[in-house]
Homo-oligomer: A and B are copies of this chain.
Amino acid sequence: MPSESIRFLNRADVAVCLSKMDATEVVAQTLRDHTLGRTELPAEGYLSWSNSVGAYSRAIAMLGAVPSGGAMSYGMKLINASVSNPARGLERAGGLSFAFDPETARPDVVAEAGLLSAVRTAAYTVVSLRELGPESFDEVSLIGTGTLARVHLDAITAAFPAVRRAYVHDLDPARAAAFRDDLRELCPELEIVVVDSAERAAGAAPVLVTVTTSNDPYIPARWLSAGQFVAHVSLDDLTEDAFRSAEAIFVDDLELIRENPRRIMGRLLQEDAVGDPPSLGEVLIGRHAARRPDRGYVISNPFGMAVLDVALIHAVAGVARETGGGQLLDLL
Give the chain B neighbours of A8 by CB distance below 8 A: 8, 329
Q: Is the CB of B332 within 8 A of A11?
A: yes
Give A1 Cβ to nearest chain B Cβ, in Å.
7
| Residue A103, interface by CB 8 Å | yes
Q: Take A51-B102, A107-B78 as given contacts and tell me if A329 and B327 are in contact as well, using a CB distance cutoff of 8 Å.
A: yes
In chain B, what residue has the closest Cβ to A106? Answer: B94
Option from B2, B10, B71, B74 in Cβ contact (under 8 Å) with A47: B74
| Residue A81, interface by CB 8 Å | yes
Of the candidates A45, A51, A82, A90, the one having the most CB atoms from chain B within 10 angstroms of its own CB is: A45
Give the chain B neighbours of A195 by CB distance below 8 A: none
Q: Take A4-B90, A10-B330, A331-B11 as given contacts and tell me if A100 and B42 are in contact as well, using a CB distance cutoff of 8 Å.
A: no
Q: Is the CB of B72 within 8 A of A49?
A: yes
Determine the main DSSP class of A at the interface with B: strand
Q: Is the CB of A10 within 8 A of B105?
A: no
Of the candidates A62, A78, A327, A330, the one having the most CB atoms from chain B within 10 angstroms of its own CB is: A78
Contact with B along A307-332 (1 / 0, CB 8 A): 00000000000000000000101111
Option from B45, B51, B74 in Cβ contact (under 8 Å) with A43: B45
In chain B, what residue has the closest Cβ to A93? Answer: B105
A residues apposed to B, CB below 8 Å? 1-2, 4, 6, 8, 10-11, 40, 42-47, 49, 51-53, 57-59, 61-65, 71-72, 74, 76, 78, 80-82, 84-85, 88-91, 94-96, 98, 100, 102-107, 110, 112, 114, 147, 327, 329-332
